[in-house]
A and B are shown apart, each in its own frame.
Chain A
């Protein structure tokens, strides 16, 4: 049985609880054990703009806490993943920075020695559980459902740090989606940013980028966007619904979290996947489920 420290970050417990619920439900059925470490803090992603060392300190503290329990980290958020991976890399490669950060961690009796791995939810499903392992637990399938996979920036790039998949022609997420019976469509803006990093800083620009992706996905024939990051999800869900009034537009391309999509074909009740907790209704999703 696999065992990970579940790293939720800040957005999921506050604003995307359905991701927490659905990922736990799915991983539970796949015999992946999750340990909650209450002392985990923010990954440092937001403070990286203003204070690099603070950013490393934030991430390193989480790494140290997981290491103390001898657990690898499984994270659901791609921005957390990117931050933790970056810090993990720096703590392993940059000895003077490591000493500095560990000296700060020592105030709490912690230190990080680089003995654990940080994994994203999608990687665990694809590499540790495996497509074959997934299929064993899949009891239903989607029919005629077209999904636009949104990879998210901070798992894919910088690829030398994240080591997630081929950064130019990734297949990992598409294969996972296809395992559910849905079709993962090709779409030109698949690997572009959702726009979330600039929300609150430059809303027009942020929404421009979101809108482009929505239009492009819709034009490419997608019924839903599928995401595996709370920032991307908030952008495509909450912000998309905000944009309807702010921008007087409706491209209507709802976002579904991959854990929700997978949970449905594993026969988990929609209520336990928080299907009704999305801002933009994805109840229609269940109509695509084949009945056998």
Chain B
């Protein structure tokens, strides 16, 4: 009764959770594009898209991907053999247990009328599957906590997944072990199926079960009479054999039985067996109920992601479906951190303390953000930096075992964050190259906004840039500033500048403007002089600085050996630092 009620309650929670999750895929949005698409549009687009794909030649692609990537998990194998082994063990072990053991009444029984969980091959297979899962969990623990795979971050959802699986498996194995030795269980079974009244016969059967089936009996001890055993064997053949194979075939439970044999009677009297049975099914039901809200939900979402991404692309798919897919992909992420391991810029984490640089942690952030869009200042600044510090090298997308199209996700989500709140100075660097290449794909109205905002933020801090007429006292100079320019061994070469203007003459940027000073504020030689004079504002605030190509023409042509381009680089660094401090 208790069992049935909890089962149905948990099933209901799980089912409602699943529906809720699918609703969030269709309702929530991340990225600027998704904001303008209504849920109803997305539902219709999704149905149309699915039908159109299923009834077309693309169904072959889906079948191929389902076999290769979902069932065989080739994308994990390509990355890391040990991880593939781990996941195959857990996946296949768990799935087969679910089908053969947990759902035996619905599946195994109808298929095999002679089925009994304690009869081979089922008894052996149940233990084998469980054993596979245990090995898989062992590898997972080893990778995360002993091997410490680089950049593999472990958080609460990962702990939960490992723990719930471990509890289900271990409770099952211990339950089996205690059941093998349990005298009370033995007696229940004899009462129910034995139909034996004769005391001698009862003793004979019990002797056999103590001798060959590991039952721990309070009255029958180690020495066995062959005649009694023979009688027991006949009775066993009559009443038990059709449902019971020898317990050694249940090798994991058998091992437990062997180990705990000395305490078996005490454990049986304390009713530990029933306790474990409760733990086992409650853990299963908890896992079931919580499934849509835990990492385990990837059992559904990841295959969907793999399948969807095999037939969808940015150019031809309905933007409404892309929006839906991108929310779904957040659930498909298993936080396996392969993306972070392969990330081209992850090394930045050694210098810049911001986990949002790692793609896997951006996914963690986005998951939370999709549900609750309120961000505090620090979180916003961190994600702005993390999301822009990316060279769009595509490695994350190429290696993701869940097939998530991280490239498109970053492109869409990045816009959302850089348009918000704080100036992102990194937009004034080659990190923007990819954004420039994809300009046509972005909202032209807002395209310049982050760039202008960053440029403004620098200029605002530099009063002199905005007041060209202001009279500047020659003393005191900002000597502190002059000391700062010199981070690299070459930067203090600015002192050699005698304003020959060669740098400005050869600069292709200066040459591009009819009135360069108006467009660029200061010309390269003027910047060099500003540094020499300690005029911080002029040195840091001019547009010239951020329009420098770093083509090194100026530096190459300086007769005085001033490292002009390197100094411009350093000034940009200083400006960024000042803004960050502010």
* Residue ranges of A at the interface with B (Cβ–Cβ < 8 Å): 9-11, 13-15, 38, 41-42, 45-54, 57-58, 61, 79, 90, 93-94, 97, 104-105, 107-108, 153-154, 156-159, 167-168, 192-193, 195-203, 205-206, 208-209, 212, 231, 234, 238-239, 242
Contacts and interface: CB of A to CB of B under 8 A. Distances in A.
Nearest to B150: A108
Contact of B391 (A10, A108, A203, A208): A10
Contacts of A14: 392-394, 407
B389 interface: yes
B550 A202 contact: no
Given A50-B429, A107-B350, A205 B556 contact: no
B307 interface: no
B121 to A, nearest CB: 43
Interface stretch (B8-16, B261-269, B289-297, B565-573): B565-573
Given A49-B569, A57-B351, A196 B426 contact: no
Interface residues of B, number: 58
A179 to B, nearest CB: 27
Contacts of A153: 549-553
A33 to B, nearest CB: 24
A158 B552 contact: yes
A108 B149 CA distance: 11
Nearest to B392: A14
Contacts of B426: 47, 49-50
A47 B350 contact: no
25 contacts: A13-B393, A13-B395, A14-B393, A41-B344, A41-B346, A41-B347, A42-B344, A46-B430, A47-B426, A52-B488, A52-B570, A54-B351, A57-B350, A58-B347, A58-B348, A90-B488, A94-B488, A97-B489, A156-B556, A157-B552, A159-B556, A196-B430, A200-B427, A200-B431, A202-B546
B313 to A, nearest CB: 15
A156 B346 CA distance: 29
A104 B553 CA distance: 33
Contacts of B350: 57, 104-105, 107-108
Contacts of A168: 556
Given A13-B394, A200-B434, A200-B436, A42 B429 contact: no
A9 B395 CA distance: 11
Contacts of A49: 426, 428-430, 569, 572-573, 576
Interface centre among A49, A153, A168 (most CB of B within 10 A): A49
Summarize A's interface: helix, strand, loop or mixed.
helix
B143 interface: no
A242 B440 contact: yes
Complex A-B, nearest 7 residue pairs according to Cβ-Cβ distance, in ascending order: A200-B436, A200-B432, A157-B552, A10-B393, A49-B429, A199-B436, A10-B391
Given A50-B573, A52-B488, A57-B347, 14 more contacts: A13-B394, A14-B394, A41-B346, A46-B431, A47-B389, A50-B425, A52-B569, A90-B489, A153-B549, A156-B552, A167-B556, A199-B437, A200-B439, A201-B546
A197 B550 contact: yes
Contact of B551 (A41, A47, A157, A200): A157
Nearest to A107: B350
B509 interface: yes
Contact of A195 (B346, B432, B549): B549
A79 B550 CA distance: 10
B555 to A, nearest CB: 5
Contact of B552 (A154, A195, A200, A203): A154
Contacts of A41: 343-347
Contact of B549 (A13, A58, A198, A234): A198
Contact of B433 (A158, A193, A196, A209): A196
A242 B345 CA distance: 28
Contacts of A107: 350
Nearest to A40: B344
Contacts of B344: 10, 41-42
Contact of A51 (B150, B352, B427): B352
B73 to A, nearest CB: 20
B421 interface: no
A90 B508 CA distance: 27
Contacts of B345: 41-42, 47, 58
Given A49-B572, A199-B433, A234-B437, A208 B512 contact: yes
Contacts of A199: 432-433, 436-437
Contacts of B434: 200
